């Protein structure tokens, strides 16, 4: 049942929104990877960004 509801919501979501969410998710993952590479926390990044 949950899968059919999720499928219905996805089908009703505009293509532009799906594309935005996809890219946003990729950006979040990349930022996380960079923080891990540098050994930084989100707080460290916040301090460096001012």
Q: Average pLDDT per run of 10 along the chain, which is 50 residues long? A: 84 95 96 97 94
So what's the pLDDT on residue 31?
96
3 burial type by CB count under 10 A (0-12 exposed, 13-18 middle, 19+ buried): exposed
CA angle 35/40/45 to nearest 5° reads 85
So what's the pLDDT on residue 1?
52
Residue 40: strand, helix, or coil: coil
CA 1 to CA 17: how far, in whole Å? Answer: 24
CA angle 23/45/27 to nearest 5° reads 5
Q: Taking the model in full, what pTM does it have?
A: 0.70
So what's the pLDDT on residue 21?
94
């Amino acid at each position: 049942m949950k899968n059919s509801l999720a499928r219905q919501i996805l089908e009703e979501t505009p293509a532009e929104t799906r594309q935005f969410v996809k890219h946003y998710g990729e950006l979040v993952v990349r930022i996380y990877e960079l923080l891990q590479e540098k050994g930084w926390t989100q707080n460290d990044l916040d301090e460096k960004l001012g």
